[in-house]
A and B are shown apart, each in its own frame.
Chain A
Amino acid sequence: MKSDPVGAETARPRGFWARLEQLNLRIPYNAKLGAVWVAIFAFLAVLFSQAHFDTAWMRKNAWFITKGLWVTVFIAAVSIFFAIILALLGALGRLSKNPIAYGVSGFYASFFRGTPLIVQMFLIYLGLPVIGQAFREPFRGWFLLSAIVSGIAALSLNYGAYMTEIFRAGILSVPHGQSEAAEALGMTYRQRMSRVILPQAFRVIIPPTGNEFIAMMKDTALVSLLGTQISWADPFRRATLLGRADFRNLEALVVAAAWYWILTGFFTFFQRRLETRMSTGYVRQAAITKRPAAGRFIPASAGGGAGGGASMVEVPPGETGPRSEERPG
Chain B
Amino acid sequence: MNPQRAEDGNLVVRIEDLHKSFGHLEILKGINMDVREGEVVVIFGRSGSGKSTLLRCINFLEDPTSGAIEVGGIRLSGGHRNRAKREQIRQLRMRTGMVFQQFNLFPQMTALQNVIEGPVTVKRIPEQAAQTVGLEILARVGLADKAQEHPIRLSGGQQQRVAIARALAMEPEVMLFDEPTSALDPELIGEVLATMKSLATELHITMIVVTHEMGFAREVAHRMAFFHEGVILEEGTPDELFNHTRFPETRRFLDAVL
**B98 interface hit (Cβ, 8 Å):** yes
B118 close to A185 (CB less than 8 A) = yes
- Please name all residues of chain B whose beta carbon is closer than 8 Å to the beta carbon of A196 when the two chains form the complex: 106
Find B93's partner among A185, A195, A320 (CB 8 Å cutoff). A185
Query: In whole angstroms, how far apart are the Cα atoms of A281 and B172 in the complex?
Result: 33
B121 close to A191 (CB less than 8 A) = yes
- Please name all residues of chain A whose beta carbon is closer than 8 Å to the beta carbon of B104 when the two chains form the complex: 175, 177-178, 180-181, 318
Given contacts A177-B102, A191-B121, contact A199 B90 (CB under 8 A): no
Q: Could you say which interface size class chain A belongs to?
A: 20 to 34
B102 close to A318 (CB less than 8 A) = yes
Chain A 240-276 against B: per-residue CB contact (8 Å), 1 yes, 0 no?
A: 0000000000000000000000000000000000000
Query: In whole angstroms, how far apart are the Cα atoms of A85 and B166 in the complex?
Result: 32
Chain B 103-116 against A: per-residue CB contact (8 Å), 1 yes, 0 no?
A: 11111100000000
**B183 interface hit (Cβ, 8 Å):** yes
Which of chain B's residues has its CB closest to A192's CB? B121
Find A200's partner among B107, B121, B152, B166 (CB 8 Å cutoff). B107
With both chains docked as a complex, state the minimum distance between the C-beta of B187 and any C-beta of chain A, in angstroms.
Answer: 16
Query: In whole angstroms, how far apart are the Cα atoms of A318 and B159 in the complex?
Result: 10
B61 close to A186 (CB less than 8 A) = no
- Please name all residues of chain A whose beta carbon is closer than 8 Å to the beta carbon of B90 when the two chains form the complex: 186, 188
Query: In whole angstroms, how far apart are the Cα atoms of A196 and B121 in the complex?
Result: 11
- Please name all residues of chain B whose beta carbon is closer than 8 Å to the beta carbon of A177 when the two chains form the complex: 100, 102, 104
A195 close to B121 (CB less than 8 A) = yes
A316 close to B107 (CB less than 8 A) = yes
Pick from B94, B106, B166, B183 the residue with the most CB of A within 10 Å: B106
Find B122's partner among A187, A281, A316, A320 (CB 8 Å cutoff). A187
Given contacts A191-B121, A317-B152, contact A185 B107 (CB under 8 A): no
Query: In whole angstroms, how far apart are the Cα atoms of A242 and B69 in the complex?
Result: 77
A186 close to B117 (CB less than 8 A) = no
**A183 interface hit (Cβ, 8 Å):** yes
Which positions 291-329 of chain A face chain B at CB distance < 8 Å?
316-320
**B181 interface hit (Cβ, 8 Å):** no
Query: In whole angstroms, how far apart are the Cα atoms of A321 and B183 in the complex?
Result: 15
Query: In whole angstroms, how far apart are the Cα atoms of A178 and B93 in the complex?
Result: 15
**A31 interface hit (Cβ, 8 Å):** no
A184 close to B152 (CB less than 8 A) = no
A185 close to B108 (CB less than 8 A) = no
- Chain B interface residue count, CB cutoff 8 Å, equals 31
Which positions 185-206 of chain A face chain B at CB distance < 8 Å?
185-188, 191, 195-196, 199-200
Query: In whole angstroms, how far apart are the Cα atoms of A233 and B5 in the complex?
Result: 82
Query: In whole angstroms, how far apart are the Cα atoms of A181 and B96 in the complex?
Result: 12
B96 close to A178 (CB less than 8 A) = no
Pick from B90, B91, B150 the residue with the most CB of A within 10 Å: B90
Query: In whole angstroms, how far apart are the Cα atoms of A199 and B97 in the complex?
Result: 23
Find B103's partner among A182, A184, A199, A318 (CB 8 Å cutoff). A318
Given contacts A186-B170, A191-B121, contact A181 B91 (CB under 8 A): no
Which positions 138-177 of chain A face chain B at CB distance < 8 Å?
175, 177
**B38 interface hit (Cβ, 8 Å):** no
Which of chain A's residues has its CB closest to B160's CB? A318
**B59 interface hit (Cβ, 8 Å):** yes
Chain A 190-228 against B: per-residue CB contact (8 Å), 1 yes, 0 no?
A: 010001100110000000000000000000000000000
Query: In whole angstroms, how far apart are the Cα atoms of A188 and B118 in the complex?
Result: 11
Query: In whole angstroms, how far apart are the Cα atoms of A191 and B119 in the complex?
Result: 13
Find A181's partner among B100, B108, B156 (CB 8 Å cutoff). B100
B170 close to A183 (CB less than 8 A) = no
- Please name all residues of chain B whose beta carbon is closer than 8 Å to the beta carbon of A184 when the two chains form the complex: 59, 61, 93, 96-98, 100, 167
**B151 interface hit (Cβ, 8 Å):** yes
Query: In whole angstroms, how far apart are the Cα atoms of A245 and B59 in the complex?
Result: 74
Query: In whole angstroms, how far apart are the Cα atoms of A182 and B102 in the complex?
Result: 14
With both chains docked as a complex, state the minimum distance between the C-beta of A170 and any C-beta of chain B, in angstroms.
Answer: 14
Query: In whole angstroms, how far apart are the Cα atoms of A191 and B106 in the complex?
Result: 13
With both chains docked as a complex, state the minimum distance between the C-beta of A191 and any C-beta of chain B, in angstroms.
Answer: 5
A181 close to B105 (CB less than 8 A) = yes
- Please name all residues of chain A whose beta carbon is closer than 8 Å to the beta carbon of B117 when the two chains form the complex: 185, 195
Pick from B103, B107, B150, B167 the residue with the most CB of A within 10 Å: B107
B156 close to A318 (CB less than 8 A) = yes
Query: In whole angstroms, how far apart are the Cα atoms of A184 and B175 in the complex?
Result: 11
A185 close to B152 (CB less than 8 A) = no
Which positions 171-190 of chain B face chain A at CB distance < 8 Å?
183
- Please name all residues of chain A whose beta carbon is closer than 8 Å to the beta carbon of B61 when the two chains form the complex: 180, 183-184
- Please name all residues of chain B whose beta carbon is closer than 8 Å to the beta carbon of A281 when the two chains form the complex: 150, 152
Pairs A-B, 7 closest by C-beta atoms: A181-B104, A186-B94, A177-B104, A184-B98, A185-B118, A186-B93, A318-B102
What are 5 A-B contacts with C-beta separation under 8 Å? A183-B61, A184-B100, A185-B121, A185-B170, A320-B102
Interface residues in chain A, defined as those with a beta carbon under 8 Å from any beta carbon in chain B:
175, 177-178, 180-188, 191, 195-196, 199-200, 281, 316-320
Contacts A177-B104, A191-B122 known; 10 new A-B pairs at CB < 8 A: A177-B102, A180-B100, A181-B166, A185-B94, A185-B166, A196-B106, A317-B156, A317-B159, A318-B159, A320-B102
